[in-house]
């Protein structure tokens, strides 16, 4: 109990407690308060001891303090007296949005921050339960900055979540695990100013703009005559340029970027780049300027530009052109996601020639170093184990990897042991939804190769998640699984899945720690 008294005297933020002290104090508090207290959540600030506790499947924010705490007054909850060798006030608060906001203001380590040019890794969490497992994985990968809150507007809509919920879930997970080394929050694949606005209101620090709808994929196959006609129709006023300026800036010029990479533009190469990406540059610039206006002076934020969701790879010349035009228009960004060679399908390893990927990736790294430096962002980065060593070796710290659906797949992996019948129901439903749900994804799974669940023993269910076809079918149908309802209007699977994982959270955390740890391992350099 002496440790509790010491924490109550803390005026600043208390240091992380030794593990045995955390566990002893968590046991004492748990016994007194009749709840499970998460040991790593215990922290003190300005005379208030904060912790996260669980009663059955409900989590509570707990505050212990003596009378008169102004910090405690920020949180909404019920007060009661509790005798812990002295009479203290206990305030139990629901783990809701209002209290998450208050927690971020009171304990800054639970709030996202800008990551900057440091090597980073995005942990998408489609269920809102995965952050503790992600924290455990990244603890073994120092010098990699985690982005715990990361989800696209599209995926939020499919999973029935809001930007606030995604950020709040990350906050509670960070608090539960006592992660104090900082994390980012990525509002991913934003396409409109309305998308930007809702994420600014929620408090994100990283904004990934997606101008993919404005990329002219036909430019790759167009003749020189067609390219000239299309170039004339580009919005030159918005580009703050002209065809004459374009030719003067690039045509027949040689750009030595170092590392043996020289970029040259013939008329055809230049027009192909301008037509393909000109309107994407316009859209990215417009979203950036809108975002900068919304954030205002003094508010830190960072931008990623993503052109990965296009039909054809981004050539080195096109990458250089996009970066040059964005710089000319005053856009500042921390990372850029080209469309790399090969196929980056959901939930499975890289498909393509590794030597070709290495050759082209090296060129993109050289451009990013010369034109920034900025990070190269690898989207659909889940489970791309064959390219991780290449990316890590060539990219160094100028790397950001995004994962998302793989954490959902690990939830299903955990489910095969927790509730095999529920997994069978989800697999059967996923088979029925795959043909419709695959339409907006780049996938190639063959449904005929995915077994019917009634053909599998309980022990064999987990094997579905180790096959190419099974992973993709389960991956792309998550939105239908999470939002599908029965004739009575009740969720078919959502609540059952969440309840099963909450009741067996350590099983899920262990699966995440192992699987995401495998992702991170190739990026852990000699410094750690």
Assigned token pair, 23: 């566990």
Query: For residue 437, what are the CA distances in angstroms to 53, 212, 396?
Result: 38, 20, 36
CA 98 – CA 84 distance, rounded (Å)? 28
Tokens 């010029």 — which residue? 253
CA 166 – CA 478 distance, rounded (Å)? 16
At residue 87, what are phi and psi to the nearest 5 degrees?
-80, 120
- With beta carbons less than 8 A apart as the criterion, state whether 429 and 152 touch: no
CA 391 – CA 521 distance, rounded (Å)? 12
- With beta carbons less than 8 A apart as the criterion, state whether 52 and 41 touch: yes
Tokens 């053909």 — which residue? 455
DSSP 355-411: HHHHHHHHHHHHHHHHH---EEEESS-TT-TTTHHHHHHHHTTSEEEEE-HHHHHHH
| Cβ-based burial of 491 (10 A; exposed 0-12, middle 13-18, buried ≥19) | middle
Q: Which of the following is catalytic: 169, 188, 419, 513?
A: 188
| Cβ-based burial of 485 (10 A; exposed 0-12, middle 13-18, buried ≥19) | exposed
300 given a catalytic annotation: no
What value, to the nearest 5°, has the Cα angle with vertex 208 and ends 204 and 213? 140
Query: For residue 441, what are the CA distances in angstroms to 168, 260, 344, 444?
Result: 27, 36, 10, 9
| Cβ-based burial of 244 (10 A; exposed 0-12, middle 13-18, buried ≥19) | exposed
Assigned token pair, 152: 């696209």
360 given a catalytic annotation: no
Q: What one-character DSSP code corresponds to residue 430? A: H
Residue 121's DSSP bridge partners are 146, 401
Assigned token pair, 12: 């600043």
CA 153 to chain centre: 12
CA 396 – CA 410 distance, rounded (Å)? 28
Query: For residue 159, what are the CA distances in angstroms to 21, 154, 297, 309?
Result: 39, 9, 34, 20
Report cis status (omega within 30 of 0) of the bond before 373: yes
What letters, b where the CB count within 10 A reaches 16 and e where it falls short, cover 74-107? Answer: bbebeeeeeebeeebbbbbbebeeebbbbbbebb
Q: Which of the following is catalytic: 168, 195, 304, 513?
A: 304
Residue 145's DSSP bridge partners are 120
Assigned token pair, 401: 């990897």
Catalytic residues: 188, 304
């Amino acid at each position: 109990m002496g440790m509790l008294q010491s924490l109550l005297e803390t005026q600043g933020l208390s240091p992380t407690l030794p593990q045995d002290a955390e566990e002893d104090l968590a046991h004492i508090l748990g016994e007194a308060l009749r709840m499970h207290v998460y040991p790593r959540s215990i922290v003190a600030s300005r005379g208030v001891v904060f912790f996260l506790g669980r009663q059955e499947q409900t989590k509570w924010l707990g505050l212990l303090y003596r009378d008169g705490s102004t910090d405690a007054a920020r949180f909404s909850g019920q007060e009661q007296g509790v005798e812990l060798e002295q009479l203290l006030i206990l305030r139990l608060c629901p783990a809701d949005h209002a209290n998450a906001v208050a927690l971020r203001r009171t304990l800054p380590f639970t709030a996202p921050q800008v990551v900057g040019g440091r090597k980073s890794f995005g942990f998408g969490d489609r269920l809102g339960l995965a952050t503790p497992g992600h924290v455990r994985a990244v603890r073994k990968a120092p010098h990699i900055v985690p982005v715990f809150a990361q989800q696209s507007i599209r995926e939020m809509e499919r999973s029935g979540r809001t930007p606030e919920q995604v950020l709040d879930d990350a906050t509670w997970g960070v608090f539960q695990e006592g992660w104090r080394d900082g994390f980012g929050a990525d509002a991913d694949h934003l396409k409109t100013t309305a998308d930007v606005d809702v994420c600014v209101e929620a408090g994100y620090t990283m904004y990934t703009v997606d101008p993919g709808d404005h990329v002219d994929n036909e430019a790759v196959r167009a003749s020189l005559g067609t390219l000239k006609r299309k170039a004339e129709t580009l919005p030159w006023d918005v580009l703050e340029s002209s065809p004459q300026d374009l030719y003067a800036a690039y045509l027949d010029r040689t750009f030595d970027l170092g590392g043996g990479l020289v970029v040259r533009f013939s008329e055809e190469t230049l027009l192909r780049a301008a037509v393909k990406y000109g309107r994407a540059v316009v859209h990215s610039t417009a979203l950036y300027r809108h975002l900068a206006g919304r954030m205002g002076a003094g508010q830190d934020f960072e931008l990623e530009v993503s052109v990965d969701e296009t039909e054809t790879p981004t050539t080195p010349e096109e990458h250089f052109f996009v970066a040059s035009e964005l710089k000319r228009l005053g856009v500042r960004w921390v990372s850029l996601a080209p469309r790399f060679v090969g196929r980056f399908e959901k939930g499975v390893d890289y498909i393509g020639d590794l030597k070709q990927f290495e050759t082209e990736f090296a060129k993109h790294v050289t451009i990013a170093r010369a034109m920034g430096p900025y990070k190269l962002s690898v989207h659909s980065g889940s489970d791309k184990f064959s390219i991780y060593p290449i990316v890590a070796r060539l990219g160094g710290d100028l790397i950001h990897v995004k994962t998302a659906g793989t954490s959902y797949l690990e939830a299903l992996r955990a489910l095969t042991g927790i509730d095999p019948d529920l997994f069978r129901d989800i697999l059967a439903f996923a088979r029925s939804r795959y043909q419709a749900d695959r339409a907006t994804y780049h996938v190639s799974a063959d449904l005929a190769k995915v077994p019917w669940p009634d053909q599998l023993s309980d022990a064999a269910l987990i094997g579905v998640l180790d096959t190419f076809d099974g992973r993709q079918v389960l991956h792309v149908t998550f939105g239908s699984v999470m939002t599908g309802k029965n004739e009575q209007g009740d969720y078919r699977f959502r609540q059952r899945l969440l309840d099963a994982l909450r009741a067996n959270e350590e099983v899920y955390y262990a699966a995440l720690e192992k699987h995401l740890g495998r992702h991170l391992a190739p990026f852990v350099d000699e410094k750690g």
